[in-house]
Amino acid sequence: MRHFLAAGASLLFVLAGPSAAGTPEQVADAALKAAPVWDGHNDVPEQLRDRRKNVLAGFDFRDTTGTADAAKGFGAMQTDLNRIRKGRLGAQFWSVYVSAQLPEPQAVQATLEQIDTVKRLVALYPSDLQFCVDSACVTAAQKAGKVASLVGMEGGHSIGGSLAVLRQMHALGARYMTLTHFKNTAWADAATDDPKHDGLTPFGEDVVREMQRLGMLVDLSHVSEATMMDAFRVAKAPVIFSHSNARALNSHPRNVSDAALQALKANGGVLMINFYPAYVVGETRAWSVRRAGEKARIEAGHIGDPAGAKAELEAWEKANPAPNGSLTDVANQIDYVAKLIGPDHVGLGGDLDGIETTVKGMEDVSTYPALFTELARRGWSQADLEKLSSRNIMRVLKAAEAYAASRKGDAPIENPTTF
């Protein structure tokens, strides 16, 4: 489903036609030279935890194409330094995701371990990576030819219900936090859990206030629409969606409605587009629903026979492969958001190495230039491609830093300990 605005200044950037600057390939290349990609969400730290228990000895981040392990159910990793260079990646928020199934004290420990893993990985490759905690560092790293490496926390369970823990995570370098993951927290509703709070609780509102006082980006990927709207109401600085898509093109509950996108525009924030087929392509979402129904039917018919149920489901999947879409569908998501709320409010958050499959043509971090070429072919100007690649998220981070500087005299928000 495609929706187009009838008129408005936000359409001018796509109505200009092919750029006089050259071919689509040349326009894309010029944009990526001027503003390398700053991706909002990559799960290499999760892969290191799952595959290697965070032991980096013997790990070669220059080339991970041979990391598939069928016996353990691992495909090859989607990220390495060689492909980062091909993909024109200049900055990355590395996600320090830990499972929302963990008890919160364990989640806090695991998050600390993941931050440590990012720092150790960066230290192993000082010619290629630079750990950053602010916009000035990102600029300096890129001038030095390094990939600016920032930390993003994925899920409010990682602070254990403590603003003191939030402050310490920020002190260690975390520069955004996704308020929930797939499950509600005690203070915020997730998109994929039964509503409990109708958005944010009063403590959840304080989490947003304290994050912004610190200069930490509030990330609304994974949260319910009620949580989004509460966060927009409370926020005094721009927020982000680090890896989400438009619900108008795919009705997955994790995606963002037009109403929430309009609120994002008013807030000045940015939506960073995800590459996971189930969030990109409406047909993939529909296939997932059909598969869930088939799985329930098959399991009901194979009570006490899990091997038979598995074999029948595999046969169904072989006869009914998932329609995973392509790079064109990602470009459609980007186009939709840019046409609805303007090219100042869209970015890229691929979710690579956090997803087992991608749309065709965007299988790993080397593929960003192909996406930019497709958008240039559609009439995107070099200036707007630069906004998409990194200028929008840089603007948002600078705004968050400026707001924090303006609140420097404010006392930390306190909450009592619980044990």
| Count of structural domains, the chain | 2
Tell me whether residue 292 is in a domain. Answer: yes
- For the chain, percent of residues with pLDDT exceeding 70: 95
Residue 118 lies in a domain: yes
User: Does 122 share its domain with 205?
Assistant: yes
Helix, strand, or coil (residue 182): coil
| Residue 197 bears catalytic tag | no
Is 413 domain-assigned? no
Q: Residues 189, 329, 351, 384: which is the catalytic one?
A: 351
Q: Which of 323, 355, 382 is the last residue of a domain?
A: 323
Calculate mean pLDDT across residues 214-234.
98
**Residue in 157, 170, 181, 345 annotated catalytic:** 181
Report yes or no on 1 lying in a domain: no
**Domain end point (choices 290, 307, 323):** 323
Q: Considering the domain boundaries, does residue 17 fall inside one?
A: no
53 shares a domain with 69: yes
Which helix (H) or strand (E) segment holds residue 129: the answer is strand 129-131
Query: Which of 29, 39, 43, 205 is labelled catalytic?
Result: 43
Catalytic residue among 157, 170, 197, 222: 222
- Indicate whether 143 and 286 sit together in one domain: no
Same domain, 101 and 249: yes
Residues 310 and 174 in one domain: no
pTM of the model: 0.92
Domain that includes residue 306, residue range: 282-323
Q: Per residue in 37-78, pLDDT tens? A: 999 999 999 999 999 999 999 999 999 999 999 999 999 999
pLDDT in tens, 110-157: 999 999 999 999 999 999 999 999 999 999 999 999 999 999 999 999
* In a domain? residue 168: yes
Residue 329 sits in a domain whose CATH number is 3.20.20.140
The per-residue DSSP string of 34-82 comes to: HS-EEEEEE-HHHHHHHHHTT--TT--TT--TT--BGGGTB---S--HH
Instruction: Give the count of beta carbons closer than 10 Å to the beta carbon of residue 320.
Output: 12
Domain stops at, among 323, 345, 375: 323
- 225 has catalytic annotation: no
Q: Residue 161: inside a domain, yes or no?
A: yes
Q: Which residue has the higher pLDDT, 7 or 39?
A: 39
> Are residues 298 and 273 part of one domain?
no
41 is catalytic: yes
pLDDT digits (tens, 9 = 90+) for 374-417: 999 999 999 999 999 999 999 999 999 999 999 999 999 999 99
**Which residue in this structure is represented by tokens 């840089």?**
394
Residue 10 covered by a domain: no
Helices (DSSP H) in 173-257: which residue ranges?
A: 202-214, 225-234
Residue 12 has pLDDT above 50, yes or no: no
Tell me, yes or no, whether 358 and 309 share the same domain. no
